[in-house]
Amino acid sequence: MLDAINATILIGASLVVLSVLTSLVSQRIGAPLLLVFLAIGLLAGEDGLLGIEFDSDASAYFVGSLALAIILFDSGFHTPFKSYRQAAAPALGLATLGVILTAGGVGTAAHFLFNLPWIESLMLGSIVASTDAAAVFFLLRVGGLNLRDRVKSTLEIESGANDPMAIFLTASLVELAAARGDGSAAFSLSFFATFVAQIGLGVILGVIGGVAIATLLNRLRGIDAGLYPIAGLAAALVVFSITGLVGGSGFLAAYVAGLIAGNRKIAFSHRLKRFQIGMTWLAQIGMFLTLGLLATPSEFGSVMLPAVALAFVLIFLARPIAVWLCLAPFKFKWREILFVGWVGLRGAVSILLAILPGLGGVTGDNIFFNIVFMMVIASLLVQGWTIGISARLLNMNAPHEPGLVDRLELELPGKAELELIGYRIHPESAIAKGQRVPRWARPSIIIRDDRALSVHKAGRLVADDRVYLFATAGQADILDTIYARAADTEDMRRLSDFFIDGNAKISDLRSFYGLDQIADETDASVAELFEKAFGGEADLGDRLTFLHMDLIVTRLDEHGGVEKAGLIIDPVKRVREKFSERAAAYIRNKLRAVRYKLRQKQSS
């Protein structure tokens, strides 16, 4: 028995390692990586080189469901709310109505191609009606595509949110196909009641679970670093399983929980993201290998031609028509509609759903699994191999500019918040053109020609240098204007609330803003304050911080003195830390009045 266990572990681990190694080859030849994982499973199966006999539908469905829950939680965790602001309505339309329209179109074609009854035909259409979250997220986030924001947001939301609808339709039609003779009216009533319960409970418990996960992780910030991300992922699986037990959609709950938790302030969220990236890869590899092992290629011959024909109906007719009907009301351009229609990859989710007919007692279950398997392979070959080409032909790639390349929250004692921020210097930035870097923004490390240099040895910074520096979260916008954008004299002005002459007296600032920290400099001007702080060499972008506001040099005179300084104010943050929201609103209104008085004084 021990030998059998060791052999099983050896084979499983070896297949995972082989999948990782072949990813290097697939990237060089441009092959869809998920197709490679599936092919390795086929080669290891009963008709392949290893001849492993694996025919447990229940085990495959368990592995697939667990992996899909992990993938959906991670996809939600990495989706910012701004994506929903950009594309919530069209994406959710695709995830619901689009799935129904696609299922209907493919189901109609399946009825005539395979001479199946209508219920089984629509069931087959439902199985392949949703895009695959694993495939789409891999292509968008790992495949190197830099799509336009609206299109990218639409595809991300759709792929994460459309699985529950396809699962619900498939499960309902499997139940109907396995229990013929029941009253259609009773089924209709049960159908809609079940739909409302699954979607409603999935959303509600997902929101509650997301808030609970964020709260739990913030309370566990003192535990061992290795346990912290495990607790987060385990909590997500708790939400998934509880929702399924009470009759809701566990997959939808996992996605919503990730969405809510990922958009809340969580301590050490970078730990979670790094851990989840690895777990998501492992889940994808495990799911595709398992489903590949379950397949029997020798049975594909009898359904190959009609299955490929049905795949082409899905790729070239059903999916594009459904996308056009769902996106046209939202004024998408024809190129965008065509591209979204093309990025309709089918993958592990469809193969996973193809197991349901057999588990549900539908006769002839192998034919559904074999048809869907062939359709998935066709989709990954035709669509997966041409996504990059279609993005270029349809002009869907967003302009790529050097800029922010890394941002890592640091784990510091107490409530100190600091980040390590990395940039690739923009060729048209002021720094690349020779302007001196402000002292507070000087990098700690410069990477040039794959060599790490200190700021003292690097000399003048040049275009495409990678620089890394420590900064607070509030300094990121100003750092962007220094390193990541073309030189723009208006950048500092846009960041400032308003501006002060360099010869303005500090005593005037004290009377307006209560800057008690500089009480000894009441007779000095703003320019003199900067000269003293920076040894007589103040430069554009140099910055002084006083409690809840910053002074930043925005213009120099012909002699190098400070002619103008911008004032950046954040009183609400300070007040929220000490007082109530009502007090913050009061201070905000007072600030508006002070600004108005100051503008009047300056104009006079």
- The DSSP line for 405-445 is EEEEE---STT---EEEEEEPPTTSTTTTTPPPPGGG--SE
Return d(Cα 91, Cα 336) in angstroms, integer. Answer: 13
Strands 419-424 and 466-471: antiparallel
Of 41 and 405, the one with more pLDDT: 41
Of 51 and 574, the one with more pLDDT: 51
Q: Is the pLDDT of residue 119 over 50?
A: yes
Question: What SS3 state is found at 542?
Answer: coil
**H or E stretch including 405?**
strand 404-409
- The DSSP line for 8-57 is HHHHHHHHHHHHHHHHHHHHHHT--HHHHHHHHHHHHSTTSSS------H
Instruction: Report the pLDDT value the prediction gives residue 571, as an integer from 0 to 100.
Output: 42
Return d(Cα 69, Cα 170) in angstroms, integer. Answer: 18
Distance in angstroms between the alpha carbons of the first and the last residue of the chain: 93
Instruction: Report the pLDDT value the prediction gives residue 576, as an integer from 0 to 100.
Output: 41
Instruction: Report the pLDDT value the prediction gives residue 201, as an integer from 0 to 100.
Output: 92
Task: Give the pLDDT band (50/70/90) at residue 181.
Answer: very low
**Phi, psi at residue 396, to the nearest 5°?**
-95, -10
Q: Is the pLDDT of residue 569 over 90?
A: no
507-524 average pLDDT score: 58
pLDDT in tens, 477-495: 667 767 766 555 444 444 4
pLDDT in tens, 233-276: 999 999 999 999 998 889 899 999 999 999 888 877 777 888 88
Instruction: Report the pLDDT value the prediction gives residue 277, as an integer from 0 to 100.
Output: 83
Return d(Cα 202, Cα 312) in angstroms, integer. Answer: 33
Average pLDDT for the chain: 78
Integer CA distances (angstroms), 208 to 109, 186, 246, in order: 41, 32, 14
pLDDT in tens, 65-77: 999 899 889 888 9
Question: What SS3 state is found at 423?
Answer: strand
Q: Measuring CA to CA, which residue among 165, 71, 128, 195 is closest to residue 352?
A: 128
Q: Is the pLDDT of residue 435 over 80?
A: no
**For residue 51, what are its two tokens?**
């001849």
Of 507 and 159, the one with more pLDDT: 159
Query: With pLDDT > 90 as the criterion, what percentage of the chain qualifies?
Result: 21
Instruction: Report the pLDDT value the prediction gives residue 53, as an integer from 0 to 100.
Output: 81
Instruction: Report the pLDDT value the prediction gives residue 584, as an integer from 0 to 100.
Output: 53
The residues, any chain, with a CB within 8 Å of residue 392's CB and separated by 6 or more, are none
Q: Is the pLDDT of residue 158 over 70?
A: yes
Radius of gyration of the chain (CA): 29
DSSP lists the bridge partners of residue 397 as 147
Instruction: Report the pLDDT value the prediction gives residue 588, as an integer from 0 to 100.
Output: 61
Query: With pLDDT > 70 as the criterion, what percentage of the chain qualifies?
Result: 73
Q: Is the pLDDT of residue 437 over 90?
A: no
177-192 average pLDDT score: 59
Cβ atoms of residues 356 and 374 within 8 Å: no
pLDDT in tens, 120-155: 999 999 999 988 876 776 666 655 667 887 888 898
Domains of the chain: residue spans and CATH? 2-393 (1.20.1530.20), 404-488 (3.30.70.1450), 492-603 (3.30.465.10)
Q: Is the pLDDT of residue 500 over 50?
A: yes
Cβ atoms of residues 309 and 103 within 8 Å: no
Of 316 and 157, the one with more pLDDT: 316
Cβ atoms of residues 481 and 488 within 8 Å: yes
Of 92 and 511, the one with more pLDDT: 92
Return d(Cα 375, Cα 387) in angstroms, integer. Answer: 17
Return d(Cα 237, Cα 244) in angstroms, integer. Answer: 11
Return d(Cα 383, Cα 405) in angstroms, integer. Answer: 29
Instruction: Report the pLDDT value the prediction gives residue 30, as an integer from 0 to 100.
Output: 52
Residues in the chain: 604
487-510 average pLDDT score: 60
Question: What SS3 state is found at 147?
Answer: strand
**For residue 519, what are its two tokens?**
């009480």
Beta strands in 441-529 (DSSP E): 445-448, 451-453, 466-471, 498-501
Instruction: Report the pLDDT value the prediction gives residue 183, as an integer from 0 to 100.
Output: 45
557-574 average pLDDT score: 64
Instruction: Report the pLDDT value the prediction gives residue 180, as an integer from 0 to 100.
Output: 61
pLDDT in tens, 366-386: 889 999 999 999 998 888 888
pLDDT in tens, 274-318: 888 888 888 888 888 888 888 888 888 888 999 999 999 999 999
**For residue 531, what are its two tokens?**
């000269």
Instruction: Report the pLDDT value the prediction gives residue 572, as an integer from 0 to 100.
Output: 40
Question: pTM of this prediction?
Answer: 0.74
Q: Is the pLDDT of residue 598 over 70?
A: no
pLDDT in tens, 27-51: 655 556 777 888 888 888 888 777 7
Beta strands in 535-603 (DSSP E): 543-546, 549-556, 562-569
CA 17 remoteness from chain centre = 26
